[in-house]
Amino acid sequence: MATVKAHLPGTFYSKPDPESEPYVSEGDSVSAGDVVGLIEVMKSFHEVKAEEAGTVAKLLVENEEAVEAGQDVVELS
């Protein structure tokens, strides 16, 4: 199984703002380059993108959870 990793340490956000739907949910198909979340570092937001196509098998972190650089955030099948 492939995973999407956090490229920076910070706070992971699964949706663009509190009122929006999540970028991806389990069972969704993604293509390489699709945004699966955001990481906030010092009030700056950075997109987390899938590096390959697949289906979201599992979301490995919760919205607003702290993540480390290199941590798996989404599992793709």
Q: What is the pLDDT of residues 52-74, one digit of tens each?
A: 999 999 999 999 999 999 999 99
Give the C-alpha separation, 36 to 4, whole Å: 8
Confidence of residue 16 (pLDDT cuts 50, 70, 90): very high
Task: Report whether pLDDT(29) > 90.
Answer: yes
Helix/strand/coil percent split, the chain, to 5:
0, 50, 50
- Residue 53: its pLDDT value, please? 97
Pick the CATH number of 2-76 from 3.40.250.10, 2.40.50.100, 3.40.50.360, 3.30.450.20: 2.40.50.100
Q: Find the mean pLDDT for residues 31-42.
A: 97
Quick one: 73 exposed, middle or buried, by C-beta within 10 A (0-12, 13-18, 19+)? buried
- Residue 66: its pLDDT value, please? 98
